[in-house]
A and B are shown apart, each in its own frame.
Chain A
Amino acid sequence: ILNVEQSPQSLHVQEGDSTNFTCSFPSSNFYALHWYRWETAKSPEALFVMTLNGDEKKKGRISATLNTKEGYSYLYIKGSQPEDSATYLCARNTGNQFYFGTGTSLTVIP
């Protein structure tokens, strides 16, 4: 994998459903993996920064895991709410440069 890849590109879920999406990245020269939440007409906001293999982070109903050996991270949202609708970006840091994925666009249907 040469670039940071995110899947799926978009998804629609019903309010109350739990969901997850994937960020895949090259496992070499790894420093950190970031997740951002990007609402329409706003700027991206940092959710998590993870650096160690096996890291798990949680903020309310949102959590993330990291596997640096196989090069992937999962973002989980439990009990999705309409206010969770946003694009979720991941970014891989290789020291001084960040490489962003194209994001997963989540729409939560009331």
Chain B
Amino acid sequence: NAGVTQTPKFQVLKTGQSMTLQCAQDMNHEYMSWYRQDPGMGLRLIHYSVGAGITDQGEVPNGYNVSRSTTEDFPLRLLSAAPSQTSVYFCASSRQSGTGYYGYTFGSGTRLTVV
């Protein structure tokens, strides 16, 4: 049972480049989300999805796009990378949406540097 798999683990981008961070879970979790973690800021929600075909914005969505074509996958796209997007990104999933009754399972994180 792999849990939540994030790729890549590390990435360096030049300003203006685009890329996709991959996230896949094999637990049939309904809810998936992306967070960024910055020093002194805690984990901040970028986008989330309550099921295939449904996505919504979190606290800090600007500069990012997501899609959820399957239950398993929830990729995060950086449209035109900026130095302010240098951060550690975590994908997380949970069994059920709308109640918070189940804890998150987190991926191992992607450390992104934009130069």
Report B36-93 residues with CB < 8 Å from chain A CB.
Answer: 40-45, 48, 50, 56, 58-59, 90
Q: Would you call A102 and B100 a contact (CB within 8 A)?
A: no
Count of chain A residues with a beta carbon within 8 Å of a chain B beta carbon: 27
Are B50 and A32 within 8 A (Cβ)?
Answer: no
**Residue interface bits A75-106, CB-to-B below 8 A is 1, else 0:** 00000000000000101011111111111000
The docked-state distance in angstroms from the alpha carbon of A107 to that of B50 is 36
Instruction: Assess A96 versus B48: contact at CB under 8 Å? Given A31-B100, A46-B103, A49-B102.
Output: yes
Taking a contact as CB atoms under 8 Å apart, the answer to whether B100 and A49 are in contact is yes
Pick from B44, B58, B104: contact of A44, CB under 8 Å: B104
Least CB separation from A48: chain B residue:
B103
Interface 9-residue window, one of B10-18, B20-28, B106-114: B106-114
Q: How far, in Å, is A41 (CB) from chain B's closest CB? A: 9
Residues of chain A lying within 8 A (CB to CB) of residue B104: 34, 36, 44, 46, 91, 98
Chain B CB within 10 Å, residue with most, of A48, A91, A98, A100: A98
Q: Is there contact, CB below 8 Å, between A89 and B58?
A: no
Bits for A44-87, please: 1 = Cβ < 8 Å to B, else 0. 11111101000000000000000000000000000000000000
Q: Does A43 contact B (CB under 8 A)?
A: yes
A residues adjacent to B (C-beta < 8 A): 4, 31-32, 34, 36, 42-49, 51, 89, 91, 93-103
